[in-house]
């Protein structure tokens, strides 16, 4: 009889110095580093179990249903719209038909949405105005002290246009450092394009071959158009 078989049970093979017992499973059956303890994934039907304290599964369900597409009639045609839109549309139609409850609900909903938008707009305007004022002060301070080694802010306060009569904010320059880097790259191209066009014009003056002259003229026009397009785009977004 094999030494590994005693009383009808297989004795676990162990390496010298390693004791197998409670809390000490054989090395071959232990979890391996980097290997999932559940390689087959979540069991079927696990989603139907009670959610954990960290989950908000009902919110997910509500959002899934709110934006699930449904087919509705829109005049003579059939369209697919989100469930939420269909519900609001039905409420608005009932309100227009004179149903008082629908009118009250729709009016309350509209007031809530418009009020929320107004608050967000006012907060944005206030933050833009504060940003512009504070950076204007800081740039003035730097100028007075002769500080020239610091980068200008992005967006630059000169690029923030506030319309006090309408309460609107317009940004005419780059919004992020990446935007500024891209704009600076194109701005650096302008003198190079000018130099290339000037060189082509010099070649045109000494070139006698008709075909070569036509080719040079073509490249001159291309360079002039490119310079004009880049310059126009830069003018629109601000210096």
Nearest to 171 by CA among 182, 158, 153: 158
133, 134, 129: which is closest to 163 by C-alpha?
Answer: 129
Q: How far is CA 136 from the centre of its chain?
A: 29
Nearest residue to 230 (alpha-carbon basis) of 172, 186, 173, 168: 186
Give dist(CA 224, CA 204) in Å, integer: 15
Structure tokens at 109: 């909903």
Q: What is the pLDDT of residue 54?
A: 72
In angstroms, the CA 69 to CA 120 distance is: 29
Find the Cα–Cα–Cα–Cα dihedral 204, 209, 210, 212, rounded to 10°.
Answer: -60
Two structure tokens written together for 132: 């512009």
Residue 36 in tokens = 């999932």
The pLDDT, as a whole number, for residue 6 is 47
Task: With beta carbons less than 8 A apart as the criterion, state whether 91 and 85 touch.
Answer: no
3-state helix, strand, coil in the chain (%, to 5): 55, 10, 30
Q: Which residue has the tokens 């935007």?
A: 179
pTM: 0.53
pLDDT, tens only, 127-167? 999 999 999 999 999 999 999 999 999 999 999 999 988 88
* Encoded tokens for 215: 């080719």
pLDDT (0 to 100) of residue 5: 45
| Average pLDDT of adjacent 10-residue blocks, the chain of 239 residues | 48 52 60 61 61 79 92 90 94 94 94 94 94 96 94 92 90 87 89 93 90 92 91 75
- pLDDT for the residue 12: 46
């Amino acid at each position: 009889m094999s030494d590994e078989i005693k009383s009808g049970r297989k004795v676990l093979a162990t390496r010298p110095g390693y004791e197998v017992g409670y809390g000490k499973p054989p090395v071959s059956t232990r979890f391996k580093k980097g290997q999932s303890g559940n390689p087959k994934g979540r069991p079927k039907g696990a989603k139907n179990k009670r959610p954990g304290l960290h989950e908000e599964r009902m919110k997910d369900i509500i959002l899934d249903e709110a934006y699930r597409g449904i087919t509705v009639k829109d005049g003579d045609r059939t369209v697919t719209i989100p469930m939420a839109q269909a519900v609001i549309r039905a409420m608005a139609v009932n309100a227009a038909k004179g149903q008082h409850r629908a009118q009250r609900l729709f009016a309350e909903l509209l007031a809530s949405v418009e009020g929320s938008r107004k608050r967000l707009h006012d907060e944005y305007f206030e933050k833009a105005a504060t940003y512009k004022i504070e950076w204007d002060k800081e740039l003035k301070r730097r100028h007075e002290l002769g500080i020239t080694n610091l980068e200008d802010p992005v967006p630059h306060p000169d690029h923030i246009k506030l319309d006090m009569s309408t309460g609107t904010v317009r940004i005419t320059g780059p919004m992020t450092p990446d935007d500024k880097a891209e704009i600076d790259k194109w701005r650096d191209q302008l003198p190079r394009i000018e130099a290339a066009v000037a060189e082509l014009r010099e070649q045109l003056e000494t070139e006698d071959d008709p075909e070569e002259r036509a080719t040079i003229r073509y490249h001159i026009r291309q360079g002039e158009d490119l310079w004009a397009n880049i310059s126009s785009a830069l003018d629109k977004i601000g210096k």
